[in-house]
Structure 1
Amino acid sequence: MAMHFLFPAGGVGQRFGADQPKQLTSIAGKTVMEWTLQACFETDRKGHAFIGLSPNDEQGRQISEGYQDLSIFSAGSERFETVLNGLNRMLEIVHPNDWVLVHDIARPCVRAEDIQRLIDTCLISQVGGLLCQPITDTIKQANSLLTVPKTIDRSTLCAAQTPQCFRVKELRDAIQQADKMGIAITDEASAMELAEQPMNLVVGSSDNVKLTHAEDAALVEFYLKQQGRI
């Protein structure tokens, strides 16, 4: 079965505090979107790529049209809606049992070798999965900042990253079901968890950070330099 990419890129980046979507931020002469697409397209995949853009995102559309085999679809108002729109679009032209790698467009430092390892793991096991990073900080759980906190065993915790890789129709159905139940999902794995689907946890690199705040841009540039991409 083929392995496709899906990039939700319809966010406005409210926390980023800029007058344009954060994926259009320029770092070392390229937009964040271009850095992300470059890394993902370096993998040994055999499928199509789909990107969800807001209707008024002319710059994003111009960038996307410069890539061969990258189809544009309409983004939703929320991330999960964008992913759902993309999956429904995919099911018009791809096999339901094909695989899809959903990747945040604002994670430009993702390493091609990590993506490839996730792909290989899912294809060998025939079970979906996601990149993640083990938690190294001591984690406290509290109802408020004034209560006595509870320390959580960090050996059982990891921070979810993207890409997250699942079969196209199974993921579409899981997200639809979560939406019908009124359950907010923050990533694709959350929907698959609700559907009680097993998944692989593949350790990714710590520099696979998400551009969220304006000050993150300097960190992204540093990591891109460390990777030898700048």
Structure 2
Amino acid sequence: MANFFALIPAAGAGSRMRDELPKQYLPLAGKPMIYHALRTICSSLRIVRVFVVLAPGDDEWLRHDWSEFSGKLVVLQCGGATRAQSVLNGLQGARDISAIGDGDWILVHDAARPCLGETQLDKLMDELAGDEVGGLLAVPVADTLKRSDTSSRVACTESRENLWQAQTPQMFRYRLLVEALSMTGGATMTDDAGAVEALGLQPKLVLSDARNLKVTYPQDLALAELILRNS
């Protein structure tokens, strides 16, 4: 039986939030944003260990109390210049200190998705546990999509047929994910599934819902807090 591990890259600055504090530490429902993702993932009895990848020299982490996760949480200060590099560095660092097998599952989750629910997490693991490739949480695109020109005018309307909006966690076998990120370099990859796709493989889309939103702009914080308080 393959084991489940989780990895949360949290080495970015979140510049679109227009705040000096890195996005993962912004206050949300009385806690740093990353706390909420950690609580859901660390609470899963199926996940053996959770790795958080921080930027080297990240002192903000030490200003908060993470003791409730101490039995499962491991901090790695090896973040890279891009998300993909942080994930790859984290995977390599995790294996140095844990007995992770090539066939074990890695669930990579964004620190900026604080509203992940236990039901979504379990559904992802249930649907992919026997899959040959792995996959990700996602939702079908519901809105009409417009492509703009350089002057912010509509150039055309894009078909939304068969289009999905990717979420996290994204779940792949350890060896496959390391291979994918190493071969692509991650320079233009905005998610792990994209690196796996570049190998010619087809990750499975696991139906999620809009509550698992990504906090990108300041107004997203209010919506995330509303979801958390009503979940």
RMSD (Å), alpha carbons: 1.9
| Greater mean alpha carbon deviation, residues 3-12 or residues 136-145 | 136-145
Contact 2:138-2:205 at 8 Å conserved across structures? yes
Q: TM-score of the superposition, structure 1-length normalised?
A: 0.91
1:64 positional shift: 7.4
Looking at structure 2, the residues matched to 146 and 75 of structure 1 have their Cα atoms a distance apart, in angstroms, of 35
Counterpart for residue 130 of structure 1: 136
Counterpart for residue 174 of structure 2: 168
Structure 1 gaps, min length 5: none
Counterpart for residue 73 of structure 2: 70
Q: Aligned pair count?
A: 225
Give the letter aligned to residue 110 of structure 1: L
1:63 positional shift: 4.3
The C-alpha deviation readout for 1:94-145, integer Å capped at 9, x for no partner, is 1111110000011100111101101111113343010001111111234434
Counterpart for residue 117 of structure 2: 111
Looking at structure 2, the residues matched to 184 and 166 of structure 1 have their Cα atoms a distance apart, in angstroms, of 19
Contact 1:34-1:63 at 8 Å conserved across structures? no
Looking at structure 2, the residues matched to 105 and 87 of structure 1 have their Cα atoms a distance apart, in angstroms, of 16
1:204 positional shift: 0.9
Give the letter aligned to residue 225 of structure 2: E
Counterpart for residue 56 of structure 1: 57
Q: TM-score of the superposition, structure 2-length normalised?
A: 0.90
The answer as to 2:221 corresponding to 1:220 is no
Q: The residue matched to 2:122 in structure 1 has which SS?
A: helix
The answer as to 2:89 corresponding to 1:85 is yes
Structure 2 gaps, min length 5: none
Q: The residue matched to 1:105 in structure 2 has which SS?
A: coil
Q: Give identity over the alignment, percent.
A: 34
